[in-house]
Chain A
């Protein structure tokens, strides 16, 4: 043996280690791939060796290579090595992710490591687990981690506390049971643990602050006492989230916070506070500048005034060469605009847009401009003409991705601001005329989206258009066919609208030839769209072509057609709020799923037709009618549509909410549209006009002011009431600015009785939502963490069933007379009942966890004699006090059998119990371990035991006893041991194994799942798996080899086992049969 070891290590001397590998890769720059594949071959060889150190080295290298290549070759190997080395976990954190199916096989190994006596093994397992925890792992291991939270070593405690956050995220049910202990840890003597607990709670509270308000006093104490800056920062952030919910907190906080700021030791706080005053903003390095801006954006939310005074400084920041600072400054601008300074700010931004290098920043500027202008329903825009011209100017941006944003704004403004339509239409017509400028450059394809808006606006509001013919011709240019399909489709649709308007104009003027000319033009040009590759364009074009041909026929017969054609597009389209459809409440008694008519009904009653109106919001650009409709039908539909509009909640023109209107004039039509002073040349393409508007606006304001002053004087003289202003909320200075023309912003329509809830804004997949639970409610029974009790064959559950054990227990019939034969758990339950009657509730929740001193075995796993000598098992018991009384002086005693004996301290007799080294206040649980020695392990064992304890409450104290049974199954004597297929084959060939087999029918779960179960409950490891056949291996603590061949048939599973000891084997198989028959 010794010789073998020496030989192994000599071999190892010449193996590559990680450094050699890295060096090698760096030296083989040219043929890197070849070198690496060579190394992988070597690694494969090394992995097959027995020496654990060699394997560790191999995994270490493999991890490096896979990190380099992203080739996921590691996963299967890592499994075996998780326990043996740190690298195993490093590799696991590299290559495991939620979808890795082998993860379910690791649960047992991780649990073993978690309870390892070596704190670093536990630590490494926790660190690894934090990277690849899955919902399954979280559920299975939550309880183990809970236990570790009260480990004696602070090193473990802090890691366990921190990982709980990950567990909560994956398994939200664990939050409530674990929370009391987490709270305890806030007052842990070790600063590391304390900071970890603060960290976790802050992270939780950030998402759902209201649940953590009750912790405020505790944090308050911490804040005044702690000296750890990390903790302080976290707590201050936490209070930042809590104060909005509890105003009183703010006042309380002022004092300690000022103390903190004044104490020179905390530089960070100081820098924050300094930058608040904005003065130092430019003295320090850029880093401080950045932080200053950050701080300002926070203050902005509460005290916008104080920040607005620094407007110039912030605008200067836009010139900064550092992009991060520019972006921050932009953010600030958003909150700073008012009616007064909007134009100025946007003008500055426009200058930056021209100067900006790099499309990302320019795009950011563009979106910011639009955001700023459109915020809170265009609250700050006084002159929409100016805004439209800004939008038109933005279309000249090169290579922006946000063409659709501009287009959306154009559409929105044109639809919602009626007064601006005329101007908008003229601008859009100009855009269409210059479409070649926009569409010519293929790089600018983002911007050609605006043509979509332009075409639609020109078509829909064609009554405002002056040069109808010119626009129509612009739209019929051959160049248009190079545009993207959806834009062409809108073009086709809207040229018919234009055509209809022209037709009407001409007919009214009696110019029949002109009308026929225009029809001919359409017929000549439309075929180019009919040939389009885009289906939508093709379909619309051919429909419309037919319609126009029909019109031409009528025209030659000198029938006036304009009215009918116009009627195609009668009616106004209103903006509908995006969520309107969802918010229509279902009227009582209406079953949406019921058939309105019987299914085979072929009736196409008129009532059903207008249903399409529901889709109008999306399809309004595509509404086109079949080309040939007789007049009657048309009229009837029109009637139906009107009817529908009258009844449909979407089409009831709700009176716009008062705060969104600038004047209380009753109807839209009565709005006096101020004559636009067209001193600005509208039709010069490529000329920025917004500047002119700024000037005009200034003049206008000046005039207005003068007028107002006059008025005021007059008013004073006449002692009339104050000038009525609607916006009483605005400040004096803002009040002076009246909008350029009275603007009516049509509010988006919502169903009348829609609920104003924001609930649908929340993302249902938000992982933090699940953590939004009330933490102050007392724990219910069903919320206990699932405890894996894998020794107890009766309680076996498949890893994926979540049935809490309480339910499980209650299902079982209880018979009091059979008390002693009942399992321990039922006993507890029964006890609970009994005690409840006696009003002295004292329940000990007992969990047994047999833990083998596996490290002893793995150290000397060749030497059997040694093992025989040391064959011990440890039973961990969690005592949980579920009563309201205090439990103390607990003693656990077990009636030893010949075979199994509890290890008692020297000098004590067989009848002495072992004192449990702690006392239990109500609601607390704690774990104690007991060691048992075993003679033979071939048989399952049951031991009877008693727990005696003293219950202390207000009325005094009483002595209580609790009987239980410990069940040592054969599987609990097995240790998961990896084995390689060649070694496995040799073992089978050796022939000194006894054989036995079982067969279980009616198995429905997947084979993978089945194997996982066997691995989990019976401590086997998979050696090899081929299709639905797998060989598995395990070892007992006394060195018995156990080999299994598991085959899955149609509905059955057969297990052939081989083992040194036939009794052990048959017992094991019996246990397995029980497990499997429950699947």
Chain B
């Protein structure tokens, strides 16, 4: 199953990445993604694609909006999110996604609610690590200081220019 997982990811990337900029956000007919009932819904932000694979029980526009909520949540949690944030903090991204989608079903679409829960968890984690965690955090901060070249690729302003038509979906 892990091989098929990888294959699905590869095929999805292959399908999505070769599509033009100004075509629609939906894609059907992937062989691996589970037949005709399923479709890919994606959005393209700067260098990143956010791809969701959904079945017919989901509303297409609803999912588009969910992606927007996801990206905006990432932006709030990382303060001006960029591509590298996602690369270096896989665990956190995963955690945020887990607050929105659980076991393949949409759990929460209210951004404020998600951000509140994530903040609360971060706080808890810090207090748990407490004194013991402090030196490690300091070292990590120092290490990060040596990386002034982190490019900030995505900015949320860009996002809001690209999709002004879609209503917010809270």
Interface residues in B67-94 by Cβ distance below 8 A to A read: 87-91, 94
Contacts of B90 in A (CB 8 A): 18, 22, 64, 67
- Kindly identify which residue among A22, A67, A230, A286 contacts B106, using a CB–CB cutoff of 8 Å: A230
Contacts of A13 in B (CB 8 A): 135-136, 138-139
Q: Quick check: is A10 within 8 A (CB to CB) of the other chain?
A: yes
Q: Quick check: is A17 within 8 A (CB to CB) of the other chain?
A: yes
Given the interface pairs A130-B103, A165-B105, the reply to whether A230 lies near B28 with Cβ below 8 Å is no
B124 near A268: Cβ-Cβ < 8 Å: no
Interface residues in B15-47 by Cβ distance below 8 A to A read: 19-20, 22-29
Stretch at the interface among A287-295, A412-420, A462-470: A287-295
Residue on A nearest B2 in the bound complex, by CB: A70
**Distance of A8 Cα from B130 Cα, bound (Å):** 14
A196 near B133: Cβ-Cβ < 8 Å: no
Contacts of B129 in A (CB 8 A): 53
B24 near A118: Cβ-Cβ < 8 Å: no
Given the interface pairs A9-B135, A90-B91, A162-B103, the reply to whether A327 lies near B108 with Cβ below 8 Å is no
| Interface 0/1 of A5-18, CB less than 8 Å to B | 10011101111011
A19 near B102: Cβ-Cβ < 8 Å: no
Given the interface pairs A126-B102, A130-B103, A166-B103, the reply to whether A206 lies near B57 with Cβ below 8 Å is yes
Shortest A249–chain B CB gap in Å is 19
Q: Quick check: is B53 within 8 A (CB to CB) of the other chain?
A: no
Stretch at the interface among A318-326, A370-378, A695-703, A869-877: A318-326
Contacts of A15 in B (CB 8 A): 136
Given the interface pairs A118-B124, A325-B24, the reply to whether A291 lies near B103 with Cβ below 8 Å is no
Contacts of A928 in B (CB 8 A): none
Contacts of B2 in A (CB 8 A): 70, 72
Contacts of B143 in A (CB 8 A): 19-20
**Distance of A18 Cα from B2 Cα, bound (Å):** 23
Q: Which of B110, B129, B167 lies at the interface centre, i.e. has the most chain A CB atoms within 10 A of its CB?
A: B167
Q: Quick check: is B95 within 8 A (CB to CB) of the other chain?
A: yes
A53 near B133: Cβ-Cβ < 8 Å: yes
Contacts of B105 in A (CB 8 A): 162, 165, 196, 199-200, 203
Given the interface pairs A64-B90, A120-B121, A159-B102, the reply to whether A19 lies near B140 with Cβ below 8 Å is yes
A268 near B167: Cβ-Cβ < 8 Å: yes
Interface residues in A146-180 by Cβ distance below 8 A to B read: 155, 158-159, 162-163, 165-166
Q: Quick check: is B169 within 8 A (CB to CB) of the other chain?
A: yes
Q: Quick check: is A131 within 8 A (CB to CB) of the other chain?
A: yes
**Distance of A22 Cα from B88 Cα, bound (Å):** 6
A327 near B107: Cβ-Cβ < 8 Å: no
Given the interface pairs A155-B117, A233-B59, A286-B23, the reply to whether A192 lies near B110 with Cβ below 8 Å is yes
Q: Quick check: is B161 within 8 A (CB to CB) of the other chain?
A: no
Contacts of A290 in B (CB 8 A): 24-26, 60
Q: Quick check: is B109 within 8 A (CB to CB) of the other chain?
A: yes
**Distance of A97 Cα from B139 Cα, bound (Å):** 37
B113 near A192: Cβ-Cβ < 8 Å: yes
Residue on B nearest A25 in the bound complex, by CB: B87
Shortest A192–chain B CB gap in Å is 6
Shortest A702–chain B CB gap in Å is 40
**Distance of A229 Cα from B109 Cα, bound (Å):** 10
Given the interface pairs A17-B136, A294-B60, the reply to whether A162 lies near B27 with Cβ below 8 Å is no
Interface size class of A (residues with CB under 8 A): 35 or more
**Distance of A134 Cα from B77 Cα, bound (Å):** 33
**Distance of A155 Cα from B102 Cα, bound (Å):** 13
Contacts of A126 in B (CB 8 A): 102
- Kindly identify which residue among B24, B28, B87, B95 contacts A286, using a CB–CB cutoff of 8 Å: B24
Q: Quick check: is B48 within 8 A (CB to CB) of the other chain?
A: no
B29 near A364: Cβ-Cβ < 8 Å: yes
A287 near B25: Cβ-Cβ < 8 Å: yes
Contacts of A237 in B (CB 8 A): 57, 59
Interface residues in A285-338 by Cβ distance below 8 A to B read: 285-287, 289-291, 294, 321-325, 327-328
Contacts of A360 in B (CB 8 A): 29
Residue on B nearest A196 in the bound complex, by CB: B107
**Distance of A291 Cα from B166 Cα, bound (Å):** 14
Given the interface pairs A199-B106, A286-B23, the reply to whether A229 lies near B132 with Cβ below 8 Å is no
**Distance of A228 Cα from B23 Cα, bound (Å):** 29
Q: Quick check: is A271 within 8 A (CB to CB) of the other chain?
A: yes
A10 near B135: Cβ-Cβ < 8 Å: yes
Contacts of B103 in A (CB 8 A): 127, 130-131, 133, 162-163, 165-166
**Distance of A327 Cα from B95 Cα, bound (Å):** 36
- Chain B residue total in the interface (Cβ 8 A): 62
- Kindly identify which residue among B24, B64, B144 contacts A324, using a CB–CB cutoff of 8 Å: B24
**Distance of A72 Cα from B6 Cα, bound (Å):** 14
**Distance of A9 Cα from B140 Cα, bound (Å):** 13
Q: Quick check: is A23 within 8 A (CB to CB) of the other chain?
A: yes
Q: Quick check: is A441 within 8 A (CB to CB) of the other chain?
A: no
- Kindly identify which residue among B29, B106, B109, B134 contacts A327, using a CB–CB cutoff of 8 Å: B29
Shortest A581–chain B CB gap in Å is 28
B61 near A86: Cβ-Cβ < 8 Å: no
Shortest B129–chain A CB gap in Å is 6
A321 near B60: Cβ-Cβ < 8 Å: no
- Kindly identify which residue among B57, B88, B138 contacts A19, using a CB–CB cutoff of 8 Å: B88
Contacts of A53 in B (CB 8 A): 129, 132-133
Interface residues in A247-278 by Cβ distance below 8 A to B read: 267-268, 271
B144 near A19: Cβ-Cβ < 8 Å: yes
**Distance of A86 Cα from B134 Cα, bound (Å):** 19
Interface residues in A116-142 by Cβ distance below 8 A to B read: 118, 120, 123-124, 126-127, 130-131, 133
| Interface 0/1 of B5-16, CB less than 8 Å to A | 110000000000
Residue on B nearest A166 in the bound complex, by CB: B103
**Distance of A23 Cα from B105 Cα, bound (Å):** 33
| Interface 0/1 of A574-618, CB less than 8 Å to B | 000000000000000000000000000000000000000000000
Interface residues in A183-210 by Cβ distance below 8 A to B read: 191-192, 195-196, 199-200, 202-203, 206
Q: Quick check: is A87 within 8 A (CB to CB) of the other chain?
A: yes
**Distance of A158 Cα from B166 Cα, bound (Å):** 27
Contacts of B147 in A (CB 8 A): 23
Shortest A26–chain B CB gap in Å is 8
Q: Quick check: is B120 within 8 A (CB to CB) of the other chain?
A: yes
B3 near A70: Cβ-Cβ < 8 Å: yes
Interface residues in A232-250 by Cβ distance below 8 A to B read: 233, 237
Contacts of A18 in B (CB 8 A): 88-91
Q: Quick check: is A60 within 8 A (CB to CB) of the other chain?
A: yes
A19 near B89: Cβ-Cβ < 8 Å: yes
Interface residues in A1-47 by Cβ distance below 8 A to B read: 5, 8-10, 12-15, 17-20, 22-23, 26
**Distance of A237 Cα from B28 Cα, bound (Å):** 20
| Interface 0/1 of A85-113, CB less than 8 Å to B | 01100100000010000000000000000
Shortest A660–chain B CB gap in Å is 28
**Distance of A10 Cα from B5 Cα, bound (Å):** 39
B59 near A324: Cβ-Cβ < 8 Å: no
**Distance of A22 Cα from B144 Cα, bound (Å):** 12
Contacts of A286 in B (CB 8 A): 22-24
B136 near A230: Cβ-Cβ < 8 Å: no
**Distance of A124 Cα from B133 Cα, bound (Å):** 21
Which residues of chain A have a CB within 8 Å of any CB of chain B?
5, 8-10, 12-15, 17-20, 22-23, 26, 53, 60, 63-64, 67, 70, 72, 86-87, 90, 97, 118, 120, 123-124, 126-127, 130-131, 133, 155, 158-159, 162-163, 165-166, 191-192, 195-196, 199-200, 202-203, 206, 228-230, 233, 237, 267-268, 271, 285-287, 289-291, 294, 321-325, 327-328, 360, 364
Which 7 pairs between the two chains have the least Cβ-Cβ distance?
A130-B103, A286-B24, A322-B23, A267-B167, A290-B24, A9-B132, A233-B59
Would you give 25 A-B contacts (Cβ < 8 Å), ordered by A? Answer: A9-B133, A9-B136, A12-B136, A17-B136, A17-B140, A19-B140, A23-B88, A23-B147, A53-B132, A64-B91, A67-B90, A90-B91, A120-B117, A127-B103, A155-B117, A163-B102, A196-B107, A203-B105, A229-B62, A230-B106, A285-B24, A290-B25, A321-B23, A324-B24, A325-B23
